[in-house]
Amino acid sequence: MRILFITNNFPPLVDGVGDYTYNLALEFVRHKHEVIVVCKRDERIDYHINGINIFPIVKVWNKQAIQPVINVIKERQIEMVSLQYVPHGFHPYGLPFALIGLVRAIRKHGVPLFTFCHEVCTFYGKGLKQDIISYMMRYVTKKILINSNIIATSIKYYCEIINTLVPDYPSRIEQIPIVSNIPEKINSREEILSLRNKVAAKDEIIIAFFGQRNIKVSLEVIERLKRSGHKVKVLFIGKIDDTFTDLSDIVYKTGVLNIDEINPYFLVSDILILPEDTYYGCSFKSGSLAAALKNGLPVVTAKGILTDSSMKDNENIIFVDFLNPLQLEESLVHLIRFPHLREKIGNAARLLVEKYNWETTYMSYLDLINQLS
């Protein structure tokens, strides 16, 4: 099969959807499909990576982007198009109206369209201006979905929103959880012990953070733990802000890492804090969460409307309200004091996601594509 993936960013540019597209494209290549990617124009993006043919040809996702994409479809005789859709990826305000014209043009040329929604829209209730933007975003998404032959997304809540946008859609909206974009690296026991000693030379409990999130409350709580005598080390994996209050003596920063350098730092960590808004909560659309669970880390995060019911507090994850510092502190103290609890929750976390990987993601895509024939 000749399949075209449409995404805004693509490696080496740092972007979760771009990384997802790359890993998925690799699986299609591995299974002997011809894979083409169209993405935005950037001189850092190569034209050929590991069997993937890349066309970084789109300057801006406007009406002028439509014909170049259609030209690729015609010239490469594409049999399936997969749009990796995230509103803000294709427009700074999340209003990519030009994509409506693009998907209509794809449909006109008789090529099936598989739209995977990494996000669907923003939510109402954040003021009049944001409500208007959210309404327009839903309109754009609806028009794209109406012109799609296959629709899938990562979480149940998004499935429900999509069903309200296209209630008469003839097929079931499929759920395909996001898996970790971070490659598993095989390290010897000696290498892991050496890295752990480098991060926490005095055998402190390593509390890790990964990704750009609001960590202010978490750092204030860790500062209190430090003052109360707990032996902890704060590990920042990847790029992070340099404002650490009074924690500089217990902070270890990896700095910017290549994607294949990240996983060993998960392996040496004891706890991962993943701050989330308590209304929305954590979800399987997060590659950071998937990476932590896959590595058997007890994750301290928040539960909300996006959180899957398979995530169970104190069984395979720890839920807290990040607006309640005392609750966060109690949870961290409990995990610090009881290593068997960390191990139990971490093992259950690993079991929770062990059935999700790039092979199963590929098979989910292929099953849906085969249903069209």
pLDDT at residue number 245: 58
Q: Report how far Cα 213 is from the mean position of its chain's Cα atoms.
A: 13
Rounded to a whole number, what is the distance in angstroms from the first to the last CA of the chain?
12
Say if 349 falls within a structural domain: yes
- For the segment 20-24, the average pLDDT, to the nearest whole number, is 97
Give me the helix-helix angle, 339-353 and 325-337, nearest 10°: 100
Order across the sheet with 271-273: list the strands. 251-253, 232-237, 205-210, 271-273, 299-301, 318-319
60 and 38 housed in the same domain: yes
**Count of domains for the chain:** 2
**What is the rounded CA–CA span in Å between residue 32 and residue 245?**
52
Confidence of residue 40 (pLDDT cuts 50, 70, 90): very high
Domain membership of residue 303 (yes or no) is yes
Average pLDDT, the chain: 94
In a domain, 232, yes or no: yes
- 227 — pLDDT class (breaks 50, 70, 90): very high
Alpha carbon distance 342, 345 (integer Å)? 5
Distance CA 236, CA 11 (A): 22
**Which candidate, 195, 192, 123, 130, places its Cα nearest to that of 161?**
123
Mean pLDDT (whole number) for 320-341 = 97
Domain shared by 349 and 361, yes or no: no
pLDDT score recorded for residue 246: 67
Residue 259: pLDDT band (50, 70, 90) is confident
Query: In the prediction, which pLDDT does 249 show?
Result: 86
Do 228 and 123 share a structural domain?
A: no
Domain-embedded: residue 184 = no
Please tell me the distance from the alpha carbon of residue 258 to that of residue 27, in angstroms, as a whole number: 21
Strand 232-237 relative to strand 299-301, pairing: unpaired
Quick one: 304 and 169 in the same domain? no
Residue type, 113: L
CB proximity list for 284: less than 8 A, separation 6 or greater: 154, 155, 177, 178, 290, 308
pLDDT of residue 244 exceeding 70: no
Would you say residue 287 has pLDDT above 90? no
CA dist 24 and 273 (Å) reads 27
CATH, residue 269: 3.40.50.2000
Cα gap 323→327, rounded to integer Å: 9
Q: What is the pLDDT of residues 142-155, one digit of tens each?
A: 999 999 999 999 99
Q: pLDDT digit string (tens) for 1-20?
A: 999 999 999 999 888 999 99
pLDDT in tens, 162-188: 999 999 998 889 999 999 988 887 788
Does 165 lie in the same domain as 196?
A: no
Residue 267 within a domain = yes
76, 2 Cβ separation under 8 angstroms: yes
Residue 243: which pLDDT band, with cuts at 50, 70 and 90?
Answer: low
User: For residues 319 and 283, what is the distance between their CA atoms, to the nearest angstrom?
Assistant: 12
Are 10 and 85 contained in the same domain? yes
Task: Give which of 218, 265, 259 is closest to 237, Cα–Cα.
Answer: 265
Q: State whether 174 and 303 are in the same domain.
A: no
* 324-329: average pLDDT: 97
**Range of the structural domain that residue 57 is part of:** 2-179+357-370
115-139 pLDDT tens trace: 999 999 988 887 888 899 999 999 9
The pLDDT score that the predictor gives to residue 123 is 85
Predicted TM-score (pTM) of the model is: 0.90
Residues 361 and 346 in one domain: no
Mean pLDDT throughout 313-331? 97
Do 87 and 195 share a structural domain?
no
215 touches 273 (CB < 8 A)? yes
